[in-house]
């Protein structure tokens, strides 16, 4: 049976699936990824998993995969052959310019391979299959150990015609000048004050328990703890400031909130909607919704990317890009074709 490989590299593990061309889930597997590995060891783990998946398809399905899609954390250069330009997971303290696409193609005997950053893969899945479907223009924001974002348009995400491939990185918008240091080198970035990791650090410091994280803070908020609620309100206010800045520039219909912090559900979304509403002036208030696909979103997106490779190599040359109707009378963007992948992983922490 014809199929593609979908592989998502997370902070402590990898998720993968073999997906039929009609979207059916044929096989899935998870593997741990040890912390502290150097970049060469991490890349070799990815290559070995991909090679095993290729062999698994031949054994179970009678044929090797037609293409592979791989999602990795950090930045990926679309211009330079799927190189991870900067990925904290591909080595201690981050590693720049780690080749991925060509080593994968070599390990997979020349199979077409797409490599994309995890947030873009997750946003693609949410746009075609999840909470962004039918939204027109949306922003997918992942609140995990980092904060990342993807601009959605036409049941998909912005096309690859990007200046540098970094659009949507809302986590590095400064919302609290002079605030906590961010991994990017600046201070007061959204990621430094409103990521799950940042909320966890603030709550851990306040309650004196180094083992607690963002999820524990959310539970304390739901239980009525006033100290936790102060931490939560500060994070929600910073997040709303960042989201309104993005909305002002992009004219969005929907804000899709994913990642580990979104697992708090209405404990997060109810005050966030109110904070966004308070900050709206001339703009129209966007809908604020929870992402639908949980921690399977990036793996789903990787499968869609692999399917798109087959579409590009077999479809006739496309005509002019069709434009979307305007979101609220201002900005518009290209329509991204929809794929039929329908496998959905369990809801859980994104990364």
Segment 187-238, tens digit of pLDDT: 999 999 999 999 999 999 999 999 999 999 999 999 999 999 999 999 999 9
* pLDDT for res 147: 94
Strand partners, 289: 256
**Residue 183 pLDDT level (bands cut at 50, 70, 90):** confident
**What's the residue count for the chain?**
351
For 181, other C-beta atoms within 10 Å of its C-beta total 11
**Residue 106 pLDDT level (bands cut at 50, 70, 90):** very high
**Residue 334 pLDDT level (bands cut at 50, 70, 90):** very low
Lowest-confidence region among 27-36, 218-227, 253-262? 27-36
Spatial neighbors of 344 by CB under 8 A, at least 6 apart, are 129, 293, 294, 296, 300
Which has more confidence, 81 or 113? Answer: 113
Dihedral (C-alpha) 244, 327, 125, 48: value to the nearest 10 degrees? Answer: -70
Residue 92 has pLDDT above 80, yes or no: no
Spatial neighbors of 129 by CB under 8 A, at least 6 apart, are 292, 293, 300, 341, 342, 344
* Cα-based distances in Å from 277 to 142, 264, 267: 20, 20, 16
Angle at 54 between CA 51 and CA 57, to 5 degrees: 150
Which has more confidence, 283 or 87? Answer: 283
What is the rounded CA–CA span in Å between residue 143 and residue 17? 24
Residue 80 has pLDDT above 60, yes or no: no
Q: Give backbone dihedrals phi and psi of 135, rounded to 5 degrees, phi first.
A: -80, -15
pLDDT digits (tens, 9 = 90+) for 40-49: 888 899 999 9
Tell which residue, 215, 181, 213, 211, has the closest CA to residue 200.
213
Top-ranked range on mean pLDDT: pick from 79-83, 172-176, 318-322: 172-176
Which has more confidence, 74 or 190? Answer: 190
What average pLDDT does range 1-11 have in this prediction?
93
What average pLDDT does range 259-275 have in this prediction?
97
Strand extents, DSSP E, 177-299 = 254-258, 287-290
3-state helix, strand, coil in the chain (%, to 5): 40, 20, 40
pLDDT digits (tens, 9 = 90+) for 108-117: 999 999 999 8
* pLDDT for res 61: 95
* pLDDT for res 331: 39
The fraction of the chain above a pLDDT of 90, given in percent, is 66
**Residue 348 pLDDT level (bands cut at 50, 70, 90):** very low
* pLDDT for res 349: 41
Residue 63 DSSP symbol:
S
* pLDDT for res 319: 35
pLDDT digits (tens, 9 = 90+) for 295-321: 899 999 999 999 999 986 554 333 333
* pLDDT for res 98: 74
* pLDDT for res 305: 94
Task: State the chain's mean pLDDT as an integer.
Answer: 84
* pLDDT for res 31: 94
What is the rounded CA–CA span in Å between residue 28 and residue 310? 21
Residue 333 has pLDDT above 70, yes or no: no
Reported pTM: 0.83
């Amino acid at each position: 049976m014809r199929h593609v490989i979908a592989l998502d590299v997370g902070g402590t593990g990898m998720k993968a699936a073999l997906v039929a061309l009609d979207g059916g889930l044929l096989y899935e597997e998870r593997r741990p990824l040890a912390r502290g590995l150097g970049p060469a060891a991490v890349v070799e783990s990815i290559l070995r998993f991909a090679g095993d998946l290729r062999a698994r398809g031949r054994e179970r399905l009678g044929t090797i995969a037609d293409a592979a899609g791989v999602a990795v954390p950090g930045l990926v250069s679309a211009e330079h052959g799927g190189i991870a330009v900067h990925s904290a997971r591909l080595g201690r303290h981050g590693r720049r310019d780690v080749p991925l696409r060509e080593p994968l193609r070599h390990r997979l005997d020349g199979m077409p391979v797409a490599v994309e950053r995890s947030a873009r893969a997750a946003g693609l899945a949410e746009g075609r299959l999840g909470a962004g479907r039918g939204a027109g223009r949306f922003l997918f924001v992942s609140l995990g150990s980092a904060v990342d974002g993807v601009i959605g348009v036409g049941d998909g995400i912005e096309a690859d015609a990007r200046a540098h491939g970094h659009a949507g990185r809302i986590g590095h918008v400064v919302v609290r000048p002079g605030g906590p240091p961010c991994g990017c080198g600046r201070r007061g970035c959204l990621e430094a004050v409103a990521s799950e990791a940042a909320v966890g650090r603030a709550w851990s410091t306040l309650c004196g328990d180094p083992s607690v994280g963002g999820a524990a803070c959310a539970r304390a908020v739901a239980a009525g703890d006033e100290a936790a609620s102060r931490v939560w309100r500060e994070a929600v206010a910073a997040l709303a400031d960042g989201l309104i800045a993005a909305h002002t520039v992009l004219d969005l219909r929907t804000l899709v909130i994913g990642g580990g912090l979104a697992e708090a559900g209405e404990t997060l979304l109810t005050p966030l909607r109110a904070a966004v509403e308070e900050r709206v002036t001339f703009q129209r208030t966007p809908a604020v919704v929870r992402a639908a696909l949980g921690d399977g979103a990036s793996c789903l997106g990787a499968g869609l990317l692999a399917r798109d490779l087959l579409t590009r190599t077999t479809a006739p040359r496309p005509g002019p890009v069709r434009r979307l109707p305007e979101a609220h009378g201002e900005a518009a963007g290209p329509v991204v074709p929809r794929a039929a992948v329908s496998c959905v992983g369990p809801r859980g922490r994104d990364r």
